[in-house]
Structure 1
């Protein structure tokens, strides 16, 4: 049994797919450049708004909290609902991308976020902001995030970690811009006027969507079609029973559509399950430290602009770490074991949060912002690359949709639960301790489970090689025996 390149990929995808093999199941060769770099720039903008927008809105939280006379936990629900809606809208976004492509979905997402912010500017209650900023804006961000991630995997294979790292850099770049801009807008126009202006700014996502031209797929010809058209003649049997063939084709088409949109077989995929379980635990402590960074600084008596500048420092470090992480992840030493790199990034985040309460004064918070920015940047640059590494590019769109719908629970509950700790204890340090533990435990879990996963993969490849060698030896022996038999004349 001689395994072809396609068979080798299919076998590996059943358990843990390594990145270099992922493209072998595609019916075209990814260009790894060309217009792909314009697509990376468009994804840079789209992903940047998706992740930076909810964080940058925290600048307005203190004032909105006082305006509506609500608690820390209540105000945290704005970003929480927005992020949860962004994750919950993942499967819908994936279905639309598979049906219509990335370009129209991203443009529709930009219009939705704009509408949500404009409607929120007329808000009369905190519930109004939950619905407009949180739900409408969050679903709009989902329509920006998934298409941007998916289209990169269609343009890049060999340079995919680098392309992902550059695209994910959009989040810190836009955050470092939006954080001081939002403070300036608030001082000049108040939070209502700021929301109107931000609604127009986010329309840049429509421009990004226009750049997301579908990849030019050089499709390999199908053997049966090529054979049937040889010398202009039809092969015997083709077209004799049109109704039967039409019925079978329709059934296969429905099965392919269902598999493409909702691939539940991923829940039997070992690597996918390891990723999913660890991420669900991790996301309880992933966003809260960023959401509460500026309010924490203001609570310590630091002025508004200096508090906003902490987000800019965090974003500036994050900005350089993401492409650097992509370059490191693309090296021949790291890429074959990139899951360990991801595990280290999760663990590093947990350690940063546990040490945060030891930082005293503004200088201490600046040091924390630097280390947190580097940890957050590493994790964010690898977050979706490692999922592509596990399931392969062809299954990534459906995989990211399933992951995001499940992760929306911890994304929704994480910041409000953290805010509740602040309300109960009247001190932010317990919130940072809790987030540190919620990142530290998944980091250790990832190290252990990926070690187990890599070992299992090596065993399965060895068994496959042994079977292939044994089958090949038997074939050689059989041929030799046939050659030795006398020929009857």
Structure 2
């Protein structure tokens, strides 16, 4: 704990004390720092919410698995169109970047129309994109159809699903998020061998056509996302019943200027929050190195002499392990001892993930590659089971939709550059080990950054808390003095009123006290 020189022991004690208080408070409430008081209603934490989680499981599953499992077609497309490794990596990169960059637009659409129609629209876009890509004859055609159109459709699915989960759950939100995010490993586990089978039977064009039909199931998933119905309130519009799902029927005119609309689109006040800045920088570093190993894992296995089916099953192994790790991580994160320290749990998962990539080049046989795939799936599942929960923990339910939109649009830049940078290393050196070393080192740095800066952030929050308390106490004292002075003045006025009335009555009676009344 040498971070703060000679005051290290005192800092450690203060941080530990603050965590102890936070753990006690959170265990009493059994929910995150985003309190239920921030909402105008009590989340269901169950009921139809589990059907919503199932729908989110499907839409999120396609959103995160599709850019990964498309790598199975890359070798066939590369031979057909005569492209290099870095050029092929742009397909998944553009798709992921469009998915992340569409976050703010998706947030605005969800706030305006609700999650159900947006997920249905996203499913239609994904299906159409894959069908159109199957007729492509150039990389530019694939970049546009799969990357741009398909990525935008996945963005609508992802953000709408995350938003509606935050409306249905609070106390059980980590578990719900873990189950929903488990859709990614489940679909990777299933689609990887399915895509390999389709590739052998129908080629890459027929496979994309069939995959487009499968992605239309996102429309069914969207139909499950029923709006959250609230009781009517006399102080609000009579027609407004939803938390975030019903369109605003009370106001049909556009409000405000272009500046106000821009503020709704992107809330730049998040950059004044120290915790948000720390989270954002760590995530940007992680995202840069997160997806390149997925994109090139099958190709790396084939370069080591593994057959194509066994190479595809490495992705399935990763997804299978990830499938069980995500809900388990959600359960662990919901524990009263872990919940207040969830940011540190997130940092540990990130360091674990980066270490797996650093050790991957040591794998020379298929058995070692399977071991790597197991730990890769475990660490990756831990990170992505916590990645949005940590943001909800920092921002709260009310600010989460805008926060996740801003985070995703910023993360589109590292996700756009990460896989092509890895492919460029393969083109330059002719070996895959430099790709894994680059990804692992960047992710480990991101995890260490989050861990150390979160220690600093909690320490500063503990130091700033007494000042805030003193300021609040001073305001309370001033208000009390003001109220006391008003009370005393009112009492004085009440005392002077009878005296004034007696005086006025004496002035109105001109007769002397001993005057006799005439008969």
Measure, in 1, the Cα distance between the counterparts of 2:272 and 2:234: 32
Q: Structure 2 length as normaliser, TM-score?
A: 0.82
Per-residue Cα deviation, 1:62-99 (whole angstroms, up to 9, x for no partner): 11111111111111111111111111111111111111
Measure, in 2, the Cα distance between the counterparts of 1:293 and 1:160: 32
Indicate conservation of the 8 Å contact 1:318/1:374, yes or no.
Answer: yes
1:170 corresponds to: 183
Measure, in 1, the Cα distance between the counterparts of 2:156 and 2:236: 37
Indicate conservation of the 8 Å contact 2:34/2:393, yes or no.
Answer: no
1:114-133 equivalent positions in 2, closer than 5 A = 114-133=127-146
Indicate conservation of the 8 Å contact 1:345/1:375, yes or no.
Answer: yes
Indicate conservation of the 8 Å contact 1:65/1:75, yes or no.
Answer: yes
Indicate conservation of the 8 Å contact 2:126/2:154, yes or no.
Answer: yes
Measure, in 2, the Cα distance between the counterparts of 1:255 and 1:30: 33
| Alignment equivalent of 1:99, drawn from 99, 112, 119 | 112
Measure, in 1, the Cα distance between the counterparts of 2:82 and 2:281: 37
- The alignment status of 1:308 with 2:321, answered yes or no, reads no
Indicate conservation of the 8 Å contact 2:338/2:345, yes or no.
Answer: yes
Measure, in 2, the Cα distance between the counterparts of 1:213 and 1:146: 16
Equivalent residue of 2:288, what SS?
Answer: coil
Per-residue Cα deviation, 1:444-469 (whole angstroms, up to 9, x for no partner): 11011111111222233333334445
- The alignment status of 1:343 with 2:356, answered yes or no, reads no
| Alignment equivalent of 2:377, drawn from 356, 373, 377 | 373
1:292-331 equivalent positions in 2, closer than 5 A = 292-331=296-335
Measure, in 2, the Cα distance between the counterparts of 1:86 and 1:223: 35
Q: Structure 1 length as normaliser, TM-score?
A: 0.86
Q: Which has the larger radius of gyration?
A: 2
Once the two structures are TM-superposed, the CA of residue 342 in structure 1 deviates from its matched residue by 0.8
- The alignment status of 1:25 with 2:38, answered yes or no, reads yes
Measure, in 1, the Cα distance between the counterparts of 2:254 and 2:361: 61
Once the two structures are TM-superposed, the CA of residue 219 in structure 1 deviates from its matched residue by 5.8
Aligned residues: 450
Structure with more relative contact order (C-alpha pairs < 8 Å, separation 6 or more): 1
1:360 corresponds to: 364
Q: For residues 224 and 464 of structure 1, do their structure 2 counterparts lie closer, same or farther at Cα, with a shift above 3 Å needed? A: farther
Q: For residues 250 and 288 of structure 1, do their structure 2 counterparts lie closer, same or farther at Cα, with a shift above 3 Å needed? A: closer
1:59-458 equivalent positions in 2, closer than 5 A = 59-218=72-231, 221-222=234-235, 259-458=263-462
2:27 corresponds to: none
Unaligned runs of 5+ in 2: 1-30, 239-249, 500-519
Once the two structures are TM-superposed, the CA of residue 267 in structure 1 deviates from its matched residue by 1.7
RMSD across aligned positions (CA): 2.6
Once the two structures are TM-superposed, the CA of residue 259 in structure 1 deviates from its matched residue by 4.2
Per-residue Cα deviation, 1:311-357 (whole angstroms, up to 9, x for no partner): 11100110010001100111111111211111111111111111111
Unaligned runs of 5+ in 1: 1-17, 226-245
Measure, in 2, the Cα distance between the counterparts of 1:47 and 1:392: 21
Measure, in 2, the Cα distance between the counterparts of 1:201 and 1:353: 32
Equivalent residue of 1:348, what SS?
Answer: helix
